[in-house]
Chain A
Amino acid sequence: DAGITQSPRHKVTETGTPVTLRCHQTENHRYMYWYRQDPGHGLRLIHYSYGVKDTDKGEVSDGYSVSRSKTEDFLLTLESATSSQTSVYFCAIGGATDTQYFGPGTRLTVL
């Protein structure tokens, strides 16, 4: 595996609570991505970053925010979690028109 870790790996939370997921890379890649994976939808891009403090929205960004203060860390925040945000979240590094390497995923359940 490329040097990508995600934390936590599993989380159960309640509706309305804030949640932050962390992605950490040791590959010094400029680009980092957050995807969510749901049955029947494949992977959908939430947000991506093309450098420290440089981020942009993806296909399903509503309800999510991101931050990147260091090259190695990309944080995904759900300000007020909803049941529709129950999903498996994957971080990836690499170029959009080049190989992307995925982390092991975080399974989030919002009750």
Chain B
Amino acid sequence: GENVEQHPSTLSVQEGDSAVIKCTYSDSASNYFPWYKQELGKGPQLIIDIRSNVGEKKDQRIAVTLNKTAKHFSLHITETQPEDSAVYFCAASPNNDMRFGAGTRLTVKP
């Protein structure tokens, strides 16, 4: 089955700096790559996603890039704010069995 690895497990940045989280996947059949943000005590919430026919997608301060050849994708957050502090998960899905990375705890220091 699909295997997703996510790095780093923790990330601390100063407010206003950029944050980058990277994921790799193993199954070349994966064609959908969402990113979720999870705040304490809540369920994960989709923040951005990308499909395999697209190399990059942007939504305000958040962007995702996908390199199908290398089987990796990344989340970029620019101009970070304290409210960006949360746990972020990447995922890859070739079919009905979506696989998630282990998560990155992002801390934005004011």
Contacts and interface: CB of A to CB of B under 8 A. Distances in A.
Interface of A: 1, 31, 40-45, 48, 50, 56, 58-59, 90, 92, 96-105
A45 B32 contact: no
B97 interface: yes
Contacts of B4: 42
The 9 closest A-B pairs by CB, nearest first: A102-B43, A42-B100, A97-B32, A96-B96, A43-B100, A42-B102, A102-B44, A96-B93, A99-B46
A1 B41 CA distance: 14
Given A90-B43, A102-B43, A96 B95 contact: yes
B98 interface: yes
Nearest to A44: B100
Interface in B1-47: 1, 4, 6, 31-32, 34, 36, 41-46
Contacts of A96: 32, 93, 95-98
A59 to B, nearest CB: 7
A59 B93 contact: no
27 contacts: A41-B102, A42-B4, A42-B101, A42-B103, A43-B100, A44-B100, A45-B98, A56-B96, A59-B1, A59-B97, A59-B99, A90-B43, A96-B97, A97-B93, A97-B95, A98-B32, A99-B49, A100-B34, A100-B46, A100-B98, A101-B46, A102-B44, A103-B43, A104-B42, A104-B43, A105-B41, A105-B43
